[in-house]
Amino acid sequence: MLVASRKFFGMALVLAACAAVPGVASAQSAQDKAAADVLFQQGKKLMLDNKFSDACPKFAESLRLDTGLGTMLWLADCYERSGKTASAWGQFQEAAETAAKTKDAREKVARERSKQLEPRLVKLQVVVAESNVVPGLEVRRDGSLIGKPLWGTAVPIDPGSHELVATAPGFKTWEGSIDASAVGKTATVTIPKLTPDEAPKDAPVVVVAPKELPKGDRGNMQRTIGLVAGGVGVVGVGLGVVFGLSAKSKLADSNANGHCQPNNHCDEIGFQSRSDSKDAATLSTVAFAVGGVALAAGAVLYFTAPKGPQKAGLQLVPQVGRGAGGLDILGRF
């Protein structure tokens, strides 16, 4: 009985948790609808007071919170009354499409209003000649990107002054503006070929006069390096001797107590001893080679080290390029 009660209690918790998720979404949706309604009513009041610039943002936010055909039509009407013909035309078009999906009678009103606006639309055509296209070219109108497929296409815009900017990596930014206010007309802007950024001129070479180093400094350093190399060589030769003796010992072990016969047939112990002998012999050869080279190099460095005073010169050469810079130090020691 206790087990059954626990199962029932656990299932009840699961069901309660599942039911809670839609509940939260519903509560949020209800709050959005309430806020949208408040904004809608405020927008209508502002429209009646002819305060269109204040009313339109109210309708737009109301529509964002709760999509409704009525709000779309009021927003479109607000845009038209405030002189934003392109925004009004686009909003009436969207309202007509929404109404068509539900066979709402207001579709006819929306389409008629958008059709009435068409002769009044102001359009902008941005032209970019193929010869003026550079890698990474981007054109923006009032901060919004104009995609390449729209280049050369006349599109409706709200009447007024519009800022145009063209940019590309490694080129100077081009900026321009146009006053597109002629009703029913198309304004055209041609984007010129961008000018490459000027590469900074090479900076002058700054030469520091040669300075005499203390006598024997360079020679002492070279002799020290020679001694270190010689020490490495001695260690290498010593390791070669150790591994060589080990190889000889392992070979002797393989021949002892009959582990390997004269015809090189060996038992398990003999085979392992001969394998170890070969490995040790290889290491011995390598150690002798490294040690010999290090000894030779150490001797050359030590006995060829200069003994007289040396002069050293420094050149500080600034390196300046597009997007990077640095300083090269050239010296003679």
The ranges assigned to domains in the chain are 28-118, 122-190, 215-308
Q: What 3-state DSSP class applies to 168? A: coil
CB 141 within 8 Å of CB 166 = no
pLDDT value at residue 303: 74
pLDDT of residue 240: 78
122-190: CATH number: 2.60.40
Pick the more confident residue, 13 or 159: 159
Least confident of 12-26, 88-102, 220-234, 318-332: 12-26
| Polymer length of the chain | 333
Q: Higher pLDDT residue, 173 or 269?
A: 173
Superfamily name with CATH number, domain 28-118: Tetratricopeptide repeat domain (1.25.40.10)
Integer Cα distance of 52 and 131 in angstroms: 44
Q: Which percentage of the chain shows pLDDT scores above 90?
A: 48
Q: For 182, what's the count of Cα atoms within 13 Å in the CB-facing half-sphere?
A: 7
List pLDDT tens digits, range 289-323.
887 887 788 777 777 777 655 444 444 444 544 44
- C-alpha 275/C-alpha 68 separation (Å) is 88
At 319-329, the pLDDT tens digits run: 544 444 444 44
Nearest to 186 by CA among 113, 255, 102, 120: 120
Q: Which residue has the tokens 């409706």?
A: 156
pLDDT at 6 over 50: no
For the entire predicted model, the pTM comes to: 0.51
d(CA 242, CA 234): 12
Pairing of strands 186-190, 154-157: unpaired
Instruction: Report pLDDT digits (tens) over 59-94.
Output: 999 999 999 999 999 999 999 999 999 999 999 999
pLDDT, residue 210, reads 53
Q: Pick the more confident residue, 127 or 13.
A: 127
257: left (phi over 0), alpha (psi -120 to 50) or beta: left
| pLDDT mean over 15-35 | 60
123: β partners: 156, 186
**pLDDT at residue 27, rounded to an integer:** 60
**Res 49 pLDDT > 80:** yes
Mean pLDDT, the chain, integer: 80
Q: What is the pLDDT of residue 314?
A: 42
Cα–Cα dist 231/289, whole Å: 14
Per-residue model confidence (pLDDT) at position 228: 84
pLDDT at 138: 96
pLDDT at 322: 44
pLDDT score of 332 more than 60: no
Question: According to the model, what pLDDT value does residue 208 have?
Answer: 54
* SS3 assignment, position 252: helix
Q: Does the pLDDT at position 199 exceed 90?
A: no
